[in-house]
Structures are given as C-alpha cells and as structure tokens.
Amino acid sequence: MSAAAVRAVHNLSPHSRTPVPRRARRAPTPRRRPLAPSNASKGDDNPMGSFPEGGLAALNQDDLPAMRRACLKVATDAAKLGAAVMLDKLGADVVKTKANARDLLTEVDPEVQRIVESSVVAAFPTHGFLGEESVPGGWEAGSAAIARLLDTGPDWLWIVDPIDGTTNFVHGVPLSAISIGVAYKGELQVGVIMDPFAGEIFSACLGGGAHCNFAPMRVGEERSGTEAVVVTGYGATAESADAMLKGMKALTDLPVRSVRMLGSAAIMLAWVAAGRLTAYFECDLNAWDTAAGALLVREAGGRMTDLVTGDEYDLKTRAIVASNGATHDELRKCLVDGGVRALADYFKE
C-alpha cells in the first residue's frame, strides 16, 4: 500500500461537514477527500454513537439500536481499509471472468472482500457473511445464495460487494464502490457505501436517516417524470440489455429530463439517496448490489420496490426501481408499460 493511500485513510472526521444545499437538500459532490477511521465519540451529532465498556463483545445482540451503531462503526472502518487498497490499485488487471467474458474479476475484489470479512469476523464471530466473491456467477447462484442464508443462516447477516463497478475499476474509471449491508432476521439495519475516489461515505441506520460524510442527506425534490434524471444499467446478458433498452426507450418517450448509465449500482443508489439522481432501474441485481443502497434510499426519504410487481424491496428482490418517492409510481408504470421485465421472466417463456 502506498504512502499516499495510507494517508488517505486518516483525514475524514465526522466533524468536518459540507453544508447541504437548501433547496434540494442534496449531498454535495466534494473534491476528492482523504478518509480516516470512524469517530465513535459520544457527540450527539455522531450517527455511530458510543459503546459500552468492554467494547463490541459486551453488546446484547438483540439490542437493535446498540447493534446498529456497532455494525455501522465496523462497516465504516472496514470500508475505509478496503478503500485504501482500491485507491492504490485502480486499473488492476482482470484475473478471470465469471458468468461470461463481460463478468470481470480482478485480484483486488477478493482482497477487499477478505478485509471486510476479517473485520466482521473479528467483531461479530457469530454473524453470517455473504460476499459476491464467494458465489459463482449467474443470477440463479446469487438468488440461491441469499435465499439459503435468509432461510437457514444466523439472525445477523452481512451482505457485501467488495467492488461494485468492477468494469469501471478495470478500465481506470473512478466510479466504483464498496457496498456493505447488514440485516437482522431479513430486515436491513445498516448500509454503508464507500466511494474511495470521491472520498465519500454514504451511510444509514434503520430509523436514523441517511448521511453523506456524516452529514444528513435527502432525496431530490423532483415532482414529475419530466423533471427526472434516471439512471440504469444491465448485466452481462442479452436479456438484461433488452430490458435496459426498452426502459430507456420508454423513458425518453415520456420524456424524462435525461437517462444515464454510471456502471455501479451502489453509486447510483447512493446518488438517488443524495438527491443527485431522481431514480434508478435495472432488471436484475444481486442482494450485494442493492442491500446497502436500498436502506440509504429509504432512510433518505425515497422508495425502492420490485420493478415489475411494485412490492416493497426485500433482500430477494432482483428487478428494482429506486426513486425519490414523488416520481416513483409514474416512472415504474412507464417502464412496465414499455415492456421492461425482470430477467427471470425471460426464462419462463
């Protein structure tokens, strides 16, 4: 790890805050800012709160408020350690492909996952852990993995994507993130998304609101589809591409203000929560892509549902639409009427 990357992990304090613009209450986009270990002081403005004497081992696992604060601290600190590696190794070579030639893996993905998993095991040895790099490629394997853990795993489950946006990362595009969601009995409790290249930590605890670099953030105030900036993406299959193109055509016919693609589900969800984007849709994503972002969006005042059915998001939901809430029903109807389907629906024919 370079000296620059080490220094980059030591400078962000929850007490250095950037004001949130008043009209849209959007999280600002700062210049690249160095990162530091989390602050667990007793200050009321610190979402991580404080912990009992004896540390994490002394916590009652059924004390959900205390556990949320503890998991938030562990997730944030682990993400910062992983971020230092990502900063050092942007543009890393592909070591293999997974589901197909477009589903990439670098040496950095498992390295960051090991960092996060080691932090979780050290703090909470009885918790379950689902990381992307522990699961074979393909939507069937991802669906089976989360279903198995929700049905038979421990009450506490960590759902982690070590590098969301691997293709961006491989090509030296600084738009990728570490995504960490924590659930208790299937309900999301904590979400952390770390963007190392912008120096931003997006975080949320259930019932505690959403934050960007520890300052509160809210979804945007767009009221109609014509005001909306919508983002999308697609997986490494022809069926995913078909759904994406149908969605883009439907949205541009509405018309929305703009449709964009960023290449990282975690960043797109974080930016919806921060009010920089209005909505995000995609026909198939894994739980590690969406868990942290779903909680961010909800705690920032937005909505996230199944794209096709409209049911509220849970960890088994794969086709998603996330929005600022005010535009949600209009945009989802536009997509469904335009022929957008869940990836799984293509294989029922």
Residue of 146, 159, 163, 201 marked active site: 163
Residue of 109, 133, 164, 299 marked active site: 164
Between CA 176 and CA 167 the distance in angstroms is: 9
163 is known as an active-site residue:
yes
345 is known as an active-site residue:
no
Is the N-terminal amide bond of 196 cis, ω within 30° of 0?
no
Residue of 109, 289, 299, 330 marked active site: 289
Residue of 109, 117, 132, 195 marked active site: 132
Between CA 297 and CA 304 the distance in angstroms is: 7
Residue of 117, 133, 161, 222 marked active site: 161
158: its two tokens: 């960590």
161 is known as an active-site residue:
yes
62 is known as an active-site residue:
no
Tally helices (H) and strands (E) across the chain.
Answer: 10, 14
109: its two tokens: 């993905």
253 is known as an active-site residue:
no
Pairing of strands 128-131, 156-164: parallel
b/e map of 35-55 (b: 16 or more CB within 10 Å)? bbebebeeeeebbbbebeeee
Between CA 215 and CA 211 the distance in angstroms is: 5
Between CA 106 and CA 95 the distance in angstroms is: 5
Residue with tokens 């477009």: 102
Residue of 76, 166, 232, 278 marked active site: 166
Residues 6+ apart with CB under 8 A from 338: 246, 247, 249, 250, 251, 253
On the CB side of 149, CA atoms within 13 Å amount to 27
CA dihedral sign, ordered 238, 240, 241, 247: positive
271: its two tokens: 């930016």
- The residues annotated with a catalytic role in the active site are 132, 161, 163-164, 166, 289
